Amino acid sequence: MIPLKSIEEIEFIRESSRIVADVLKIVGAQIQPGKTTLELDKVAEDFIRSMGGEPAFKGYGWDKKNLFPATLCTSVDAEVVHGIPGKRILKDGDLLSIDVGVKKNGFYGDGAYSFAVGEVSAEKQRLIRVTKESLAKGIEQAISGNKVHDISNAIQTYVEANGFSIVRDLVGHGVGRDLHEEPSVPNFGEPGTGAVLKDGMTLAIEPMVNAGTWRVKVAADGWTVYTVDGKSSAHFEHTIAIVHGKAEILTLS
C-alpha cells in the first residue's frame, strides 16, 4: 500500500529534507584533497543534531550484527553507494558521492549529491552532469496521473542516450514516516507501467549512473556497492512531494 501524505505531513517531511539539503551544502563546501571521509561524517552528524534531527542511516539495517555505522554514505569513484566513512583521504581527481538521511518529528528526508574533488577528468565531469540532469528528467515525470515507470524510463532514456548505464540492482523509494516506503522507484522501466502517481505521494528519486556496465557487487563489509568493472559511478537524489498535480522538490536548502 502506498501511503498518501497530508499537507501537514508533507511540511514535516520538508523540514527533514531541508536539513538534508543543508548538510549536502555544508559538507560540500568542505570537500577538498586531504580531507578524510570520517571528518566529513562528523561535520554532518554535528549539524543534524544541532538542528534537532537524527541521522537516519546511523544504526540502520536488517542484520543486527552489521548495522550501518555512520551518518553519511561516502562513495568514491567505483563505489556506487553505501560507502562507509573512515580514514580514507580524498585526493585530487576523485568523484565523491554523498548520501544522507534525516529524521525529525517522526518523518524522514533523503538526498544525495556527487562532488568533484579538486580537478577531475572531463569524463567524470560529464558523468556528474548527466546523472544530475537525469534526475531532473525523472522529476519532470512525477505528476498526478502518470505512472511510476514514467519516471524510471525518463531517467534510463537520458542516461543511455549519453553513453552511460543505469544501475538496476538499487532503486528509489517512497519516504515519509519510514525511510523506505512503497512504491519502489526504479531508474529503468517501460513507460506507462507501475503504480499511478497521485497527490500526496512523497518519493525519493535517485539515479545511480555508471561510466561502464550497470552491473554492481557488494563488498565484504556488507554495505559498500561497487561497479564490477571498476569504472566510476555518480549518484543524485531528491525527496519530492506530488502537490496540486506536480512534483515539488523538498530537499532544497
* pLDDT tens digits, one per residue of 146-186: 999 999 999 999 999 999 999 999 999 999 999 999 999 99
H helix runs in 111-147, sequence order = 122-140
- Give the pLDDT of residue 29: 98
**pLDDT bracket for residue 237 (50, 70, 90):** very high
CATH of residue 233's domain is: 3.90.230.10
- Give the pLDDT of residue 177: 98
Q: Element (H or E) spanning 148, and its range?
A: helix 148-161
* pLDDT tens digits, one per residue of 193-208: 999 999 999 999 999 9
**pLDDT bracket for residue 47 (50, 70, 90):** very high
- Give the pLDDT of residue 225: 98
> Is 2 inside any structural domain?
no
Are the CB atoms for 206 and 217 separated by under 8 Å?
no
| 15 vs 253: CA distance, rounded Å | 10
* pLDDT tens digits, one per residue of 104-147: 999 999 999 999 999 999 999 999 999 999 999 999 999 999 99
- Give the pLDDT of residue 87: 97
Helix (H, G, I), strand (E, B) or coil at 141: coil
In the chain, DSSP assigns E strands to 54-55, 72-76, 79-81, 95-104, 107-116, 165-166, 172-174, 181-185, 202-205, 208-210, 216-218, 225-227, 233-235, 238-243, 246-249
Q: List residues bridging with 204 in a β-sheet.
A: 173, 239
Q: Element (H or E) spanning 111, and its range?
A: strand 107-116
DSSP secondary-structure letter at 249? E
Are the CB atoms for 158 and 133 separated by under 8 Å?
yes
* pLDDT tens digits, one per residue of 52-80: 999 999 999 999 999 999 999 999 999 99
Sign of torsion over alpha carbons 41, 217, 62, 56? positive
| 226 vs 206: CA distance, rounded Å | 16
* pLDDT tens digits, one per residue of 211-222: 999 999 999 999
- Give the pLDDT of residue 114: 98
- Give the pLDDT of residue 83: 98
Are the CB atoms for 115 and 40 separated by under 8 Å?
no
Domain that holds residue 129: 7-249
Cβ count within 10 A of residue 119: 10
Q: How many domains does the chain have?
A: 1
Helix (H, G, I), strand (E, B) or coil at 56: coil
> Is 1 inside any structural domain?
no
> Is 126 inside any structural domain?
yes
> Is 237 inside any structural domain?
yes
